[in-house]
């Protein structure tokens, strides 16, 4: 049974890189980011100065609820999720709408951070934050 509309692949491997599929409970949290702005208080100035640096960064947080066949597998995933997925990697986010149509976006060289809560039986709840540049629509 599908529990969400998101599939998330971290890195180039379409099997080992799947941190979440439609069967996992994936909640998309609010996106935060945009052009990076530098703020400076210049010497003897009466107000602060802002400079648009012409680059972009967005944080894309998710909450993932994964269920496993037994608590041994949930403990194993909890222990190894960060070492498997964290780092600078390409990420593919695929959204499936209610008609079944998929839309995939690529975020290249993103900073990936997974934080997993200790398992409760067969269930692990993890926070995934993907911080990177603009999402590129894939054909």
Residue-wise pLDDT tens digits, 100-114: 999 999 999 999 999
Distances (CA, A) of 133 to 35, 57, 88, 101, 109: 10, 5, 12, 25, 8
Domain parsing of the chain, residue ranges = 6-137
For the stretch 48-84, pLDDT in tens is: 989 998 899 999 999 999 999 999 999 999 999 999 9
pTM recorded for the entire structure? 0.89
Per-residue pLDDT band for 46 (boundaries 50, 70, 90) equals confident
């Amino acid at each position: 049974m599908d529990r969400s509309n998101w599939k998330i692949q971290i890195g180039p491997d379409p099997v080992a890189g799947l941190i979440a599929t439609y069967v996992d409970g994936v909640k998309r949290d609010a996106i935060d980011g945009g052009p990076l702005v530098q703020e400076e208080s210049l010497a003897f100035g009466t107000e602060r100065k802002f400079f648009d640096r012409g680059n972009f960064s967005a944080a894309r947080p998710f909450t993932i609820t994964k269920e496993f066949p037994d608590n041994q597998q949930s403990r194993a995933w909890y222990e190894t999720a960060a070492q498997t997925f964290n780092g600078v990697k390409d990420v593919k986010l695929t959204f499936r709408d209610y008609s079944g149509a998929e839309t995939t976006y690529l975020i290249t060289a993103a900073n990936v951070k997974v934080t997993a809560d200790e398992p409760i039986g067969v269930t692990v709840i993890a926070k995934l934050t993907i911080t990177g540049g603009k999402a590129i629509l894939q054909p």
